[in-house]
Amino acid sequence: MSAIRVAVLSATQLFAESLARLVDREPLFVRVGGAGDANVDVLLVDSNLEDLFDICVRHASAGRARIVALGVPEEGAKAEDLLIAGARGLLFRHARECDLLQAVPHVHAGKIWAPRHVVAAAWEKSWSDAVPVERLAGWTRLSAREREVLRYAASGFANKELADRLAISEATVKVHLTHIFQKVGCRTRSELAAVYHGLATIHADRPTR
């Protein structure tokens, strides 16, 4: 497996240096430049940064580094708002080093690292606002089962977890996902999650079947 290129962004020098040492100790990671470096795979961001939401939006919309926000407060709506803004991983203030070491590869693989109730709350909130027509283009063409699979897949469930939850085989999950990709017009699982959560839209010239 190729090393995951990780960058650290924090206004607190001590916090940034501690994270840098942790990244340097992990054989699977390689530390690279800052937030603007095009080679970054995963960006670890201090949740205390004033422009955190803007950073999430910019990276998500440009398809750049996947963001893991660190030190997120458990109270309030900040966690779900960060997911809506484009963060793919959330580590709360009580998180340990082992949580970070698991979160980075998980997010790098295109999945969401966050408690499921937070993901669900973000999903509900993102759909409470007006949504672009393009985002809904393939939704009406999905079967009831495909909509279930889409909801769990976009919430970060792995195929096995999804299969166990719906009492179907992993092979059946893969078939449903293939049909969903075709109907909605997405090419990757991460793109599917972004569209589902309102973080991206499918362009009008993207063909659907």
State how far the alpha carbon of 36 is from the alpha carbons of 32, 64, 182, 193, 194, in Å: 11, 9, 33, 24, 21
> Looking at domain 130-196, which of 1.10.1740.10, 1.10.3430.10, 1.10.10.10, 2.60.40.10 is its CATH number?
1.10.10.10
Helix (H) or strand (E) holding 78: helix 78-85
How do beta strands 42-46 and 66-72 pair? parallel
How many residues belong to the chain? 209
Domain 4-115 has CATH 3.40.50.2300: yes
Name the stretches of the chain with pLDDT < 70: 1, 34-38, 61, 124, 126-139, 155-156, 190, 194-209
The whole-number pLDDT of residue 44 equals: 95
Residue ranges of domains in the chain: 4-115, 130-196
Q: Write down the pTM of the prediction.
A: 0.62
Can you state the percent helix, strand and coil of the chain, rounding each to 5? Answer: 50, 10, 35
The whole-number pLDDT of residue 130 equals: 38
